[in-house]
Amino acid sequence: MASPKEVAKKKKAVPSVGHSAHAMRGEAPSLSVKMLELLVCPRSHGSLVYDETAQELTCKRSLLAYPVRDGVPILLESEARAIED
């Protein structure tokens, strides 16, 4: 049986957000399907649609687009921008 130190050495280090594999390749991290299923607009509680190119989550019900920074959705109304119908 391996000692705790040996087990720790075998585990791969998880890169921090600033040094993720996506960031190293110059790519924006994507959101998982499961996360998208769970997230809702904080204003209307409507569903959100992920625009990977714009790095935004949009809500058609409240007409707001929330930014996604380094793969993290920023679901604050103060950070959202208004979108046209």
Domain ranges of the chain: 4-82
The rounded distance, in Å, linking the Cα atoms of 14 and 32 is: 17
pLDDT score, position 30: 76
CATH fold of 4-82 reads N-terminal domain of TfIIb (2.20.25)
pLDDT in tens, 24-46: 556 666 788 998 999 999 999 99
pLDDT score, position 26: 61
What pTM was estimated for this model as a whole?
0.67
